Amino acid sequence: MDRCNEALTSYHSVMSFPAYAPTDEHQMLREAVRALAEEKIAPRAAATDATEEFPWEVYKDLTAADFHAVHIPEEYGGAGADALAAVIVIEEVARACASSSLIPAVNKLGTVPLLLAGSKELNKRYLSPVARGDAMFSYALSEAEAGSDAAAMKTRAVADGDRYVLNGTKMWITNAGVSEFYTVMAVTDPDAGARGISAFVVEKSDEGVGFGPKEKKLGIKGSPTRQVILDNVRIPAERMIGAPGTGFKTALATLDHTRITIAAQALGIAQGALDYAIGYVKERKQFGKAVADFQGVQFMIADMGMKLEAARQLTYAAAAKSELAMHGQPQKDLTFFSSAAKCAASDAAMEITTDAVQLLGGYGYTTDYPVERMMRDAKITQIYEGTNQIQRMVMARQLLK
């Protein structure tokens, strides 16, 4: 019995933290972001999708409310919000407009490498402008032949005195061209494999930095996706993030934290589609009664809500682990949780948005209603920051090792 009691005490100690249930402060934050999203973001969402232009007015609104990069610590001028708060912000913005949600999401993706491995001086120089809303920060890892196999990258960074010279082309870079700063992974030691990759901060204004044309995409059309082209870009050596050869390790650690933000985006898209579908089936009448009165429709709505809430709880649990890890308390299962959250939420979002289109019938297939846009936007959440097939490989390795 003593051993049982000891085990039970230990269990309660472990389970009492990290607590991932939103606090009253988190709920207040959600209400504030939702109010802003419904008033200023949702009315622009269809136009953002149609014009395929970056939503600068939304960026200004998010910055004015300090919702554009809530994760940046107070010491660099940020709000210092925890990981769950960042999830809630992204979730609520995505509920209105997935393209706009990539403002806080990509700001986090680009800056987490600095928070994990950057020096105080480097972080102050680059995180403070992002916190003020003077600049955005993107992440440049993938290449045309190095997507899921990111370690196969060819971009080189060659030491030249107190500088590095970068050459290569990064592919599929979110918000490329509108962001001022980029975390760039490049090979510094071609004979060392993944251990020969280092991370750098590259500025848009650096001589030799260019961008390819905007990709023509299925969804998230208001967020530009472009190549970042590095042609003899000379940068100071102090712009290296962490030690030489640690870039790939930093990249993987970054994704452990930021896959959770993609899960948050997926949750928001799914919630927006579910909310709209519920409103529609309660108003739409067929055969003399509301569509919502038919049991087949009720079962669809129930499944949509169940999948969404299951994914949300997993995402919030992952966010709690991310927060602990960022504050020096390693979480051995963070990799599993972040991959599981991203995979579950994005799969749920694809299913829920598809069902929302079905529930609206012919109307759901037209651009007069938002669910077709939400369905298109949801698809990318199953692909970027690691395809869901890669996520399943990651989870399996974590379980089997």
So which residues are the catalytic ones? 385
- Which amino acid does the sequence have at 376? R
Q: d(Cα 170, Cα 186) in Å, to the nearest integer?
A: 10
Tokens of 295: 């049991």
Distances (CA, A) of 71 to 301, 322, 337: 34, 12, 20
Hey, what are 376's tokens?
A: 């298109």
Rg from Cα positions in the chain = 22
Q: Closest by alpha carbon to 154, among 175, 171, 138, 139?
A: 171
> CA–CA separation, 117 vs 119, rounded Å?
7
Give the closest residue to 147 by CA, choosing from 172, 168, 184.
172
Please give the Cα distance from 106 to 139 (Å, whole number). 7
Give CA–CA dist 375/352, Å, rounded.
8
* CA distance to 82, 198, 217, per residue, from 64 (Å): 19, 35, 29
Task: Report the C-alpha gap between 251 and 244 in whole angstroms.
Answer: 13
Phi, psi of 289 (to 5 degrees): -150, 165
Q: Contact 261/107 with Cβ under 8 angstroms?
A: no
DSSP bridge partners of 290: 285
- Dist CA 300 CA 349 (whole Å): 14
Q: Which residue has the tokens 């989870």?
A: 395
Which phi and psi (to 5°) does residue 137 adopt?
-130, 120
Alpha carbons within 13 A on the beta-carbon side of 374: 36
Residue that the structure tokens 């996706």 belong to: 225
**Distances, alpha carbon 269 to alpha carbons 65, 93, 140, 293, 336, in Å:** 21, 9, 25, 25, 23
